[in-house]
């Protein structure tokens, strides 16, 4: 099987692509999608460590439980974030991130 | 033979997931981004299955690709988001973002490679504990040898159904005859005994999320 480092590098690459997406994209919904990809990437590294620590024949399930909690919290966060985006759309009639400029000079 | 195919499949699925992640960032149409994100989550779930985390793989498919993604598509369709105009893309910002992302990926790679034992296939936590003196050096390797597991030092320790059956409370005879690895049962054993209270608190968090989403999404009547 593949060593642990390769799983961590895969998780890091996915996280950094999501980070680049959050910085580059102007559409708030796509920014939010890239944010969810970052959370998913962190989950991969958790599960990889859980499996790597299982030298007795079974993985150590604490990290997988944490990954499950992260998935559930991500779902709740998406619900609230999308409700916020809908409220923003009703106020500004646009989903560009540059339309939120009332605090700008 | 089996582990060779398994590791080849990991690289295939990981490369496909990275390509789909690029697709999320690159496509201008938000529906294309969402479809690419669905594929990315699907390939990530395939990586989970390859690691033996079957429950988390299914949860990834059901919750991420099946619920979160559909929520995104609902909102995109409801607000009727059009594709971004290409005049808006600014090249200097894209360069800065690629540099920042590259620096972060470089950090993670450096840390992942320099974890003691990670590239060889030993568990970094155990190597660290041995070097700090908490574990007697070689005790885990000896234990693995006496229990008949794969030699310690092979990449990603093998899963043994016998050890899983013993952890679930079976006796020696039925444990030796076990063939399937009961990933969900072991995860449930940990989730509902050790992490029972956080699990209940998580349900409160989901309730708060639901109430918050309904409250934020209301149309305010201007009375």
Residue B221 resides in a domain: no
CA–CA dist B25, B22 (Å, integer): 5
Return the pLDDT at B5.
84
Domain end, chosen from B58, B81, B104, is at B81
CATH number of the domain encompassing residue B10: 1.20.120.1200
B37 and B103 belong to one structural domain: no
Main-chain phi, psi angles of A70, to 5 degrees: -65, -40
Return the pLDDT at B129.
63
Query: In total, how many domains does chain A have?
Result: 1
Return the pLDDT at B25.
93
Residue B222 resides in a domain: no
pLDDT of B34 strictly over 50 = yes
B207 and B170 belong to one structural domain: yes
Domain hosting residue B118, numbered range: 91-158
Cα distances from A102 to residues A93, A94, B217, in angstroms, run 14, 14, 21
Least confident of A41-55, B23-37, B129-143: B129-143
Query: In total, how many domains does chain B have?
Result: 3
Mean pLDDT of chain B: 83
Nearest to B79 by CA among A82, A41, A68: A82
Model pLDDT for residues A9-28, shown as the tens digit of each residue: 999 999 999 999 999 998 99
pLDDT of A87 strictly over 70 = yes
Residue A102 resides in a domain: no
Interface check A37 vs B, CB under 8 A: yes
Model pLDDT for residues B145-200, shown as the tens digit of each residue: 665 555 444 456 777 777 787 777 777 777 677 778 888 988 999 999 999 999 99
Model pLDDT for residues A30-85, shown as the tens digit of each residue: 999 999 999 999 999 999 989 887 767 788 899 999 999 999 999 999 999 999 99
Query: Which among A12, A56, A69 has the least Cβ separation from residue B109?
Result: A12
ipTM of the predicted structure?
0.93
Interface check A95 vs B, CB under 8 A: yes
Domain hosting residue A17, numbered range: 4-96
> Using a CB-CB distance cutoff of 8 angstroms, which residues of chain B are in contact with residue A72?
63, 202, 205-206
pLDDT of B2 strictly over 90 = no
Interface check B209 vs A, CB under 8 A: yes
Distance from the Cα of A99 to chain B's closest Cα (Å) equals 13
Assigned token pair, B160: 């043994």
DSSP B180: S
Nearest to B150 by CA among B162, B139, B159: B159
Return the pLDDT at B10.
93
Interface check B16 vs A, CB under 8 A: no
Nearest to B49 by CA among B145, B159, B153, B126: B159
pLDDT of B128 strictly over 70 = no
B134 three-class SS: coil
Least confident of A8-17, B64-73, B103-112, B176-185: B176-185
CA–CA dist B32, B100 (Å, integer): 25
Residue B86 resides in a domain: no
CATH number of the domain encompassing residue A62: 1.10.287.3510
Residue A60 resides in a domain: yes
Residue A57 to residue B59, Cβ atoms within 8 A: no
Domain end, chosen from B49, B81, B113, is at B81
Return the pLDDT at B96.
92
B2 and B35 belong to one structural domain: yes
Residue A104 resides in a domain: no
Q: How confident is the model at residue A97 (pLDDT cuts 50, 70, 90)?
A: confident
Return the pLDDT at B118.
61
Return the pLDDT at B210.
94
Return the pLDDT at B168.
78
**B18 burial level (CB within 10 Å; 0-12, 13-18, 19+):** middle
Assigned token pair, A83: 């409700």
* Count of beta carbons in the 10 Å neighbourhood of residue B41: 23
């Amino acid at each position: 099987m593949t060593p642990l480092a390769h799983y961590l590098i895969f998780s890091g690459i996915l996280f950094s692509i999501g980070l680049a997406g959050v910085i580059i994209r102007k559409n708030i919904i796509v920014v939010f999608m890239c944010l969810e990809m970052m959370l998913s990437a962190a989950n991969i590294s958790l599960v990889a460590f859980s499996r790597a620590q299982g030298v007795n024949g079974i993985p150590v399930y604490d990290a997988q439980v944490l990954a499950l909690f992260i998935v559930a919290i991500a779902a709740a966060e998406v619900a609230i974030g999308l409700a916020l985006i809908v409220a923003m759309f009703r106020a500004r009639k646009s989903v560009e991130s540059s339309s939120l400029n009332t605090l700008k000079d | 033979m089996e582990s060779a195919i398994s590791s080849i499949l990991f690289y295939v699925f990981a490369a496909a997931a990275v390509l789909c992640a690029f697709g999320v960032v690159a496509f201008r149409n938000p529906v294309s981004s969402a479809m690419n994100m669905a594929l990315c989550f699907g390939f990530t779930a395939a990586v989970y299955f390859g690691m033996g985390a079957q429950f988390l793989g299914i949860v990834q498919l059901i919750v991420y690709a099946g619920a979160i993604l559909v929520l995104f598509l609902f909102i995109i369709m409801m607000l009727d988001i059009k594709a971004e105009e290409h005049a808006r893309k600014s090249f200097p910002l894209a360069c800065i973002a690629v540099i920042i992302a590259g620096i972060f990926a470089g950090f993670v790679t450096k840390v992942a490679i320099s974890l003691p034992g990670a590239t060889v296939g030993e568990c970094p936590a155990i190597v660290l504990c041995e070097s700090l003196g908490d574990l007697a050096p070689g005790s885990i390797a000896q234990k693995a040898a006496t229990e008949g597991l794969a030699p310690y030092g092979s990449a990603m320790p093998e899963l043994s159904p016998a050890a899983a059956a013993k952890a679930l409370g079976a006796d020696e005879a039925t444990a030796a005859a076990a063939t399937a690895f009961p990933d969900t049962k072991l995860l449930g054993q940990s989730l509902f005994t050790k992490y029972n209270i956080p699990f209940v608190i998580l349900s409160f968090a989901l309730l708060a999320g639901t109430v918050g989403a309904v409250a934020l999404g209301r149309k305010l009547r201007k009375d």
